[in-house]
Chains A and B, each alone.
Chain A
Amino acid sequence: GENVEQHPSTLSVQEGDSAVIKCTYSDSASNYFPWYKQELGKGPQLIIDIRSNVGEKKDQRIAVTLNKTAKHFSLHITETQPEDSAVYFCAASKSNYQLIWGAGTKLIIKP
């Protein structure tokens, strides 16, 4: 079945710098790749997603890139702010139903 690997497990960046989180997936049939942000005590919240017919998508300071050939996708956060501190999860889906999740990245923004 599908497997999603996420790196790094922890990422510490200086406020204002960029952060990049990377994921790889195993099933070439996967076609939907969302990124979720989870703050303490809350459920995951979608921040951006991309489908397999698109190579890049941007929403203000957040962007996602997808390389279908290499089966990896990345989250880019520019001009990081303290409120970006959270756990970020990537996921992949092919069935339109279940999401297969990465292990999560704890992003720490240092003031």
Chain B
Amino acid sequence: EPEVTQTPSHQVTQMGQEVILRCVPISNHLYFYWYRQILGQKVEFLVSFYNNEISEKSEIFDDQFSVERPDGSNFTLKIRSTKLEDSAMYFCASTLTGGTEAFFGQGTRLTVV
């Protein structure tokens, strides 16, 4: 069964450092997403990406965040200067078309110290 894979599973970084979270979406999917879940809180939408550009982004997705599809398979989320409050589980997802079943990766737990 096709799946979304995320690396690393756990990332610890110092405050102020840049981190890149990596995702390999399902190969024939066209829409890609990042969500995050702070411990004990709801899953929150960050950004959606289609046709090499951002389709939608939330208020959380400020100038510190960026996404990129550097090649035909990877989809990355970069946080330029991490803050303590960026500590969360980050989920990547992909869909074949907009509004269809979203497949999620297993998540990357980001811990900012």
Contact = CB atoms under 8 A, between A and B. Distances in A.
Contact of B104 (A45, A93, A95): A45
A107 to B, nearest CB: 17
Nearest to A104: B42
A97 B43 contact: no
Contacts of B99: 32, 93, 96-97
A43 B45 contact: no
A73 interface: no
Contacts, number: 53
Interface string A21-43: 00000000000101010000111
Q: How large is the interface on A (under 10, 10 to 19, 20 to 34, 35 or more residues)?
A: 20 to 34
Interface of B is mostly: strand
Contacts of B45: 98-100
Given A97-B48, A103-B42, A44 B33 contact: no
Nearest to A4: B42
Interface residues of B, number: 25
Interface string B1-45: 000101000000000000000000000000101010000011111
Contacts of A96: 98-99
B24 to A, nearest CB: 13
Contacts of B64: none
B43 A101 contact: yes
Q: Which of A36, A99, A102 has the most chain B CB atoms inside 10 A of its CB?
A: A99
B56 interface: yes
B101 interface: yes
Interface string B80-112: 000000000001010000110111111100000
Contact of B102 (A41, A42, A95, A99): A99
Interface of A: 32, 34, 36, 41-46, 49, 89, 91, 93, 95-104
Given A45-B104, A96-B98, 5 more contacts: A89-B43, A96-B99, A99-B102, A102-B42, A103-B41
